[in-house]
A and B are shown apart, each in its own frame.
Chain A
Amino acid sequence: MHVTHLKYITILIVMGLCASTAQAVKPPLNRDTLAEGRRIYEQACAWCHGIGGEGDGPAGWFIGRYSSPRPRNFVKDGYKLRSTASGELPTDQDLFKVITQGIPGVMPAYRSLNEQERWQVIAYLKSWNPAFEEEQPVPLTFPSGARGPTEAGIQNGRNLYVKYDCRVCHGDNGEGDGPEATAGHLRDTYELPIRATKLTDPSSFKNGASPQDMFRTLMTGMDGTPMPAYANEFAGQEEALWELVWYLRSLSGHEGS
Chain B
Amino acid sequence: MPSRHAAIRAAITGLALLSGISALSVQPAQAIPAFARKYTLDCVACHTAPPRLNTFGERFLENGYQLPGTEDGGTTGKKSLGDLNLDDFANYTGVRLRGNVLRSHQFKQQNPPVAERGMVHNNSEFGFPEIFSLFTAGSLTKNIGFFAELESNLEESSTGIERAFMTFNNLGGNNLANIRVGRIDPSATFSFSTLRQQLEFVGESVHPSTNMVQRAGLFPLAASAKFYGLRNRSGSVISPYAPSLYNAVAETGIEVRGRPFGDWFMYQIGMLNGANETFGDSNRGKDVYGAVRFDYARTAHFSASLSGFAYLGNSNATVLTETGQADVNWHRYGIAAHVRYKMFDLYGMYTLDRIAHVPAAALASFDTSASGLSLALDTYVTNRTLLSLRYDHMDAGGDLSQRTSQSFAGFQLKQYLRSNVALFARTDLNLRRAEDGNAAARNLRHALFAGIDIAY
Which residue from chain A places its CB closest to the CB of B28 in the assembled complex?
A: A195
Does A87 touch B at the CB level, under 8 Å?
no
Chain A residues touching B, majority SS: loop
Which residue from chain A places its CB closest to the CB of B48 in the assembled complex?
A: A62
Contact with B along A96-112 (1 / 0, CB 8 A): 00000010111111111
CA distance A59 to B342 in the complex (A): 9
Q: Check A109/B55 contact, CB under 8 A, given A44-B67, A195-B28.
A: no
Does B208 touch A at the CB level, under 8 Å?
no
Kindly specify which of B3-11, B37-45, B233-241 makes contact with the partner chain: B37-45
- Is the beta-carbon distance between A62 and B44 smaller than 8 angstroms? yes
- Is the beta-carbon distance between B67 and A108 smaller than 8 angstroms? yes
Does B343 touch A at the CB level, under 8 Å?
yes
B61-114 with Cβ < 8 A to chain A: 66-72, 75-76
Chain A residues within 8 Å of B66, by CB: 112
Does B300 touch A at the CB level, under 8 Å?
yes
Interface centre among A108, A109, A111, A113 (most CB of B within 10 A): A108
- Is the beta-carbon distance between A61 and B383 smaller than 8 angstroms? no
Chain B residues within 8 Å of A58, by CB: 54-55, 297-299, 301-303, 340
Q: Check A65/B343 contact, CB under 8 A, given A105-B42, A108-B39.
A: yes
Does B401 touch A at the CB level, under 8 Å?
no
- Is the beta-carbon distance between B380 and A59 smaller than 8 angstroms? no
Q: Check A52/B299 contact, CB under 8 A, given A65-B44, A65-B343, A195-B28.
A: yes
- Is the beta-carbon distance between B297 and A112 smaller than 8 angstroms? no
- Is the beta-carbon distance between B298 and A63 smaller than 8 angstroms? no
Contact with B along A22-65 (1 / 0, CB 8 A): 00000000000000000010111111101110101111111101
- Is the beta-carbon distance between A111 and B72 smaller than 8 angstroms? yes
Chain B residues touching A, majority SS: loop
- Is the beta-carbon distance between A63 and B297 smaller than 8 angstroms? no
Chain A residues within 8 Å of B343, by CB: 61, 65
Chain A residues within 8 Å of B56, by CB: 47-48, 57, 59
CA distance A107 to B68 in the complex (A): 13
Chain B residues within 8 Å of A52, by CB: 299
Does A67 touch B at the CB level, under 8 Å?
yes
Partner of B68, one of A44, A106, A109, A176: A44
Chain B residues within 8 Å of A109, by CB: 39-40, 76
Q: Check A62/B47 contact, CB under 8 A, given A57-B55, A108-B41.
A: yes
What is the minimal beta-carbon distance from A215 to any residue of chain B, in angstroms? 22
- Is the beta-carbon distance between B76 and A112 smaller than 8 angstroms? yes
Does B59 touch A at the CB level, under 8 Å?
yes
Interface centre among A57, A59, A110 (most CB of B within 10 A): A59
CA distance A48 to B44 in the complex (A): 11
Residues of A in contact, count (CB < 8 Å): 39
Q: Check A110/B70 contact, CB under 8 A, given A65-B44, A65-B380, A66-B380.
A: yes
What is the minimal beta-carbon distance from B386 to any residue of chain A, in angstroms? 10
- Is the beta-carbon distance between B301 and A40 smaller than 8 angstroms? no
- Is the beta-carbon distance between A56 and B70 smaller than 8 angstroms? no
Q: Check A105/B75 contact, CB under 8 A, given A57-B299, A61-B342.
A: no
Chain A residues within 8 Å of B45, by CB: 59, 62-63, 106-108
- Is the beta-carbon distance between A56 and B69 smaller than 8 angstroms? no
- Is the beta-carbon distance between A50 and B298 smaller than 8 angstroms? yes
Which residue from chain A places its CB closest to the CB of B304 in the assembled complex?
A: A58
What is the minimal beta-carbon distance from B53 to any residue of chain A, in angstroms? 9
What is the minimal beta-carbon distance from A174 to any residue of chain B, in angstroms? 14
Does A204 touch B at the CB level, under 8 Å?
yes
Which residue from chain B places its CB closest to the CB of A203 in the assembled complex?
A: B40
B335-357 with Cβ < 8 A to chain A: 340, 342-343
Does A82 touch B at the CB level, under 8 Å?
no
Interface centre among A46, A110, A113 (most CB of B within 10 A): A46
CA distance A249 to B299 in the complex (A): 40
Chain B residues within 8 Å of A158, by CB: none
Chain B residues within 8 Å of A112, by CB: 66-67, 70-72, 75-76
Which residue from chain B places its CB closest to the CB of A105 in the assembled complex?
A: B42
What is the minimal beta-carbon distance from B36 to any residue of chain A, in angstroms? 9
Interface centre among A61, A63, A195 (most CB of B within 10 A): A61
Interface centre among A43, A48, A56 (most CB of B within 10 A): A43
Does B258 touch A at the CB level, under 8 Å?
no
Partner of B55, one of A59, A106, A111, A195: A59
Interface centre among B44, B46, B343, B382 (most CB of A within 10 A): B44
A99-150 with Cβ < 8 A to chain B: 102, 104-113
What is the minimal beta-carbon distance from B63 to any residue of chain A, in angstroms? 9
What is the minimal beta-carbon distance from B78 to any residue of chain A, in angstroms? 11
Chain A residues within 8 Å of B55, by CB: 47, 57-59
Does A198 touch B at the CB level, under 8 Å?
yes
Contact with A along B286-311 (1 / 0, CB 8 A): 00000000000111111100000000
What is the minimal beta-carbon distance from B172 to any residue of chain A, in angstroms? 16
Q: Considering the complex of A and B, which 8 residue pairs feature the smallest CB-CB distances, nearest first?
A: A112-B72, A43-B69, A44-B69, A58-B303, A59-B56, A112-B70, A47-B56, A59-B54
A-B contact pairs, 20 of them (CB 8 A): A43-B263, A45-B69, A51-B299, A57-B299, A58-B54, A58-B302, A59-B303, A61-B301, A61-B342, A63-B45, A66-B380, A66-B383, A104-B40, A105-B40, A107-B41, A108-B67, A109-B40, A111-B75, A112-B71, A198-B28
Beyond A47-B297, A66-B383, A102-B39, 13 additional contacts (C-beta under 8 Å) are A43-B174, A44-B70, A54-B299, A58-B55, A58-B297, A58-B303, A58-B340, A59-B57, A108-B76, A109-B39, A109-B40, A110-B67, A113-B70
